[in-house]
Chains A and B, each alone.
Chain A
Amino acid sequence: MTILANILIIFFIVVGLVFIVVTAIGLFRLPDLYTRTHAASKSATLGVMCILIGVFLHFWLIENHFNPAILLGVLFLFITGPVGGHIMSRSSYIAGVKPWSGTVRDDLKPEIERMKKEQGIK
């Protein structure tokens, strides 16, 4: 039983670690801010959530200590991580950060123009 529990815990922690390494590689390799935000907000959130679930299972199954605060942390990260990425990339778009030169489609640009025209800016 302990072996099964350990396998489960190691699986979750290893998956989380792999996702965090993928995040770091993505932050180095990707060309512009928007693709980097994509890498950082998605896979880092999933990685940290997996590690937290592994820690939760370790304390629950091995040490017999049920800690709901870790589950709350998983829920909190699941809600706030993507919203943080969204706010960062949106504010940098509005501040004028140019996307990568290979971008073929920009749906937000006409929308921002329309909003500026409605509010009478420029």
Chain B
Amino acid sequence: MKTNDVILQFTAKIVFFIIFFYAVHIFFAGHYTPGGGFVGGLVTSSAIVLLIIAFDLKTVKSILPINYLYLVAVGLLLALGTAAFSMFVGEPFFTHFFDYFNLPILGKTSLHTAALFDLGVYLVVVGVTMTIIQTIGDDE
């Protein structure tokens, strides 16, 4: 029976953004406080799962037209690239670099290549979780 679920859909629209921005916060806070790529990726995919529950799989696929398997590949390539970059400048594999930069709005910020590696982890976690859920939810 098709029922009226306006309340769930409206709440999901608002709560999605809270969860997603909190996931971005967790991702960037990972260097100095608890958090990081893995938890951030899981929270992001839980936000997308909330959209799938409130609407349905086809609608969410048209909102976010991403092939999540490519997301996994891009994340792995990013992680491998950050790890292998140091070999080209004469340092051992997986050596990370960091420095302080004066960015226009943020002021003095420390940028670290480990964040790029973490971005790779983030993309892989989002891609794998969403692939699993879409594959299980889609078969008919």
Contact = CB atoms under 8 A, between A and B. Distances in A.
Interface of A: 69, 72, 75-76, 79-80, 83, 86-87, 90, 94, 115-116, 119, 121
B136 interface: no
Contacts of A75: 18
Contacts of B14: 79
Interface of B: 1-4, 7-8, 11, 14-15, 18, 22, 25
B24 to A, nearest CB: 13
A76 B18 contact: yes
Q: Chain A interface mostly helix, strand, loop or mixed?
A: helix
**Secondary structure class of chain B's binding surface, majority of residues:** helix
B18 A72 contact: yes
B11 A79 contact: yes
B15 A79 contact: yes
Contacts of A94: 1, 3
Nearest to B12: A83
